[in-house]
Amino acid sequence: MEVVIGEHRFKGIHDQWISTEKENPFTGLDEFLAKYFGKHILIFIAYDVKNHIEDLQTNHKNDIGFPLIHCIIPAKNYSFKGFKPGKKISDNHIQFEPKTSKKNYLETIGKIKNHIQKGDFYEANFCYEWVSNVENFNAKNVFEKLSNLTQAPYKVYADLEHHYVLSASPELFLKKRGDRLFSSPIKGTRKRMANESSDNQIKKELRENAKERAENIMIVDLVRNDLSKIAKRDSVKVEELCQVYTFKNIHQMISTISCDMKKNVTFSDIIKATFPMGSMTGAPKVRVMELMDQYEPSRRGLYSGSIGLIKPNGDFDLNVVIRTLIYNKAKQLLSFHVGGAITIQSSAEEEYEETLTKAASLFKACEND
């Protein structure tokens, strides 16, 4: 086992806990976290934990086979300064196939907008999967390339018993510092331009785009509501609203919401109140999750979930699992999802193009060296 999160590099397993889909994961989770309070704890939370928070189910097969929750107490902790150069990925480019065609994607967006028109919900995050069968997957090389392409702040490399997980996430789900919680949902994406003037114009357009701002503000309201369940009275605050941040490959519109937590709130209490993150569901959450399971072509699995590090003092950083490659070692199956927020103003063609923008760095990282 080897996991890289931020500047930390963890190796070996002192102990671990894996939740199954048939049991309520939260009892076992809190027991495990209490047992190892004061240690570094790695945690992987799959999207389908939602089924144990709300009265929901998932109808798709678990092809990638990632567990609901996986907690690891690492044996050793090092500082991470990069991997040594390895072998080439393969003789050929890794070729991905989408689980839905462009035609089906466009038709589905039309159906989702019909739901919005009828008042079933007012924003939905619709996602689809790309897959490839890869015999010799050089995870470290791909991770290094993906990191260089994106310079994402919440990146993760994980070499687990049955899976590789390579995440270049730009999004913070939750950050805990003492009794304060912070969440920074992303809604609004634009591709970087090579020309500085054009790039600045694209950034300005994103900042002023009424549709993107409306999407972002809807999710801010949802996050405020989620945090209020565990927050001290009148402590939920919007720290930043619709700020545009520039990454190496894209511009993103990000807001930040914070709160002061009530006393005796457990980690499971926090997850039950806030998971899945609003930026990956839509609003209202439960109805959207129910319907997206019907329209999406495959199970999200770890995508739309969270990976993070709980520190010895109880503080933690949890990312949003987006821009993430997941590889099942036994099946030799490589997968990633992309998606976006759909509102009544959405153009199906533009939404499809945005998914390709989000996928671009993942495609490029898997090209032959």
Is 171 designated active site? yes
| Helix, strand or coil, per DSSP, at residue 235 | coil
- φ, ψ at 123 (rounded to 5°): -160, 135
Q: How far is the CA of 46 from the CAs of 169, 268, 350, in angstroms?
A: 15, 14, 28
Q: Which of 2, 171, 296, 351 is catalytic?
A: 171
Cα separation, 319 vs 153, whole angstroms: 9
Q: For the beta carbon of residue 5, count every other beta carbon within 10 angstroms.
A: 21
Q: Is 43 exposed, middle or buried (0-12, 13-18, 19+ CB in 10 A)?
A: buried
Which region, left, alpha or beta, applies to residue 205 given φ > 0 means left and ψ of -120 to 50 means alpha?
alpha
Closest by CA position to 96, among listed 329, 366, 327: 366
| Helix, strand or coil, per DSSP, at residue 298 | coil
Instruction: Give the sign of the dihedral formed by CA 356, CA 362, CA 363, CA 365.
Output: positive
Read off the tokens for 92: 């050929």
CB contact at 8 A, 37 and 316: no
Q: Which of 140, 176, 187, 285 is catalytic?
A: 187
Cα separation, 122 vs 120, whole angstroms: 7
How much of the chain is in helix, strand and coil states, percent to nearest 5?
30, 35, 35
Cα separation, 324 vs 269, whole angstroms: 26
Cα separation, 361 vs 366, whole angstroms: 9
Residues annotated catalytic, as ranges:
171, 187
